[in-house]
Amino acid sequence: MYSSYIAGIGHFVPERVVTNFDLEKLMDTSDEWIYERTGIKERRWIVPCTETTTSMGIKAAKAALQDAGKSPDEIDFIVFATISPDYYFPGPGVGVQEALGISEIGALDVRNQCSGFIYALSVADQFIKTGMYKNILVIGAELQSHGLDKTTRGRNVSVIFGDGAGAVVLSAAKLNNSSQILSTHLHSQGSNAAELMVKDPGNLSKERFPIDFAEHEIPESYFPYMNGNLVFKHAVTRFQEVINEALSANNKSVSDLKLLVPHQANYRITQFVQRKFALSDAQVMSNIHRYGNTTAASIPIALSEAKQEGRIQRGDLVCLAAFGSGFTWASALIRW
């Protein structure tokens, strides 16, 4: 048996910064209103036609490979988490395989929204533990700015989301290696699936594929819907549960944590969880004020920045936690 550890990490965000003041020009909102409710001051949106979900994922993957000191031909498998693929199908994993010139390895796409990166990390961890693969690229990337309702109608949701990508190289090590993924914990509650969703295009819609939007207003069902109050109430509960689950499974306590890296959903959620666990600011990674909610990319971007800032060193105990659409929630406890 083997254990897996994060051998390298990297991220990419578009250069274009979209501030709350920029959004005031598009919809009836304000910097004060957005920041008070979300903690977001700005986000990154691509310049149209300059990037795709795949291209951003490739750039993050290259950064992770460089950090790990590995070449693309050492990668055995790819797991790509996103809710915003370039195509309805296929998923972007195969695009990464092609762009990196890796000959015919498997590529798996994961669609677990805000929990997607931890789900992808868990899948990769199991493949390595069984000895099937030695080096796996795990990517979380989102291009969400193209799919947002940037009018007053969609302001409650559209001000939250941003574009970007993060990636790690997960590698095999001997079971007693000091750096390793200690455990992962995955959950779902489908009864609340409709509380945070994009309904169309899907098999439940009257139109399987989009209508001619040149002649019709785009219907609300093609944009994200969120029952914000319900999502908040569930999120703060599930975050606590799944963090405690990870700590308990490894006989660790909150005091052992060097850093908590939560999904960057809403700064109010992060603050609530921080207070519940009595964590200091130094123990919680938050960058939502700069990037907004980048869904499956938010945890690897935040983790990559934490490493760049020197907030984690080899041997530190790090907890990743996420909650999102599905509802799904997940955690991973890592000895860095």
Q: Is there a single domain that holds both residue 9 and residue 75?
A: yes
Q: Is there a single domain that holds both residue 151 and residue 185?
A: no
Q: Is there a single domain that holds both residue 40 and residue 127?
A: yes
Which CATH number covers residue 187? 3.40.47.10
Q: Is there a single domain that holds both residue 327 and residue 219?
A: yes
Q: Is there a single domain that holds both residue 79 and residue 103?
A: yes
Asked whether the predicted pLDDT for residue 290 surpasses 80, the reply is yes
Is 135:168 a contact under the CB 8 Å cutoff?
Answer: no
Asked whether the predicted pLDDT for residue 209 surpasses 70, the reply is no
Per-residue model confidence (pLDDT) at position 201: 62
pTM: 0.93
> 265 lies in which domain range?
180-335
Q: Is there a single domain that holds both residue 88 and residue 185?
A: no
Q: Is there a single domain that holds both residue 62 and residue 206?
A: no
Residue predicted with more confidence, 176 or 207: 176
Domain boundary among 129, 148, 174: 174
Asked whether the predicted pLDDT for residue 320 surpasses 60, the reply is yes
Q: Is there a single domain that holds both residue 149 and residue 231?
A: no
Which of the four pLDDT bands, split at 50, 70 and 90, describes residue 196? confident
Q: Is there a single domain that holds both residue 157 and residue 207?
A: no
Residue 263 is a catalytic residue: yes
The token pair that represents 113 in the structure block? 């929204």
Q: How far is CA 329 from CA 69, 112, 307, 333, in A?
A: 32, 9, 24, 14
> Over pLDDT 70: what percentage of the chain?
92
Mean local confidence (pLDDT), 268-278: 96
Domain boundary among 141, 174, 207: 174
Q: Is there a single domain that holds both residue 191 and residue 256?
A: yes
Mean local confidence (pLDDT), 32-55: 96
Per-residue model confidence (pLDDT) at position 190: 85
Spell out the residues 6+ positions from residue 33 whose beta carbon is closer than 8 angstroms to its own: none
Residue 11 is a catalytic residue: no
Which of the four pLDDT bands, split at 50, 70 and 90, describes residue 232? confident
Which of the four pLDDT bands, split at 50, 70 and 90, describes residue 215? very low
Asked whether the predicted pLDDT for residue 126 surpasses 60, the reply is yes
From the list 114, 135, 234, 287, the catalytic residue is: 114
Domain boundary among 147, 174, 201: 174
Count of the separate structural domains present in the chain:
2
Q: Is there a single domain that holds both residue 229 and residue 119?
A: no
Whether the ω angle into residue 224 lies within 30 degrees of 0, i.e. cis, is: no
Per-residue model confidence (pLDDT) at position 214: 45
Taking each helix axis from N to C terminus, what angle separates 116-129 and 298-308, rounded to the nearest 10 degrees? 80
Asked whether the predicted pLDDT for residue 153 surpasses 70, the reply is yes
How many other CB atoms are found less than 10 A from the CB of residue 281? 8
From the list 185, 287, 293, 319, the catalytic residue is: 293
Q: Is there a single domain that holds both residue 133 and residue 32?
A: yes
Average pLDDT of the chain to the nearest whole number: 91
From the list 234, 263, 266, 287, the catalytic residue is: 263
Residue 146 is a catalytic residue: no
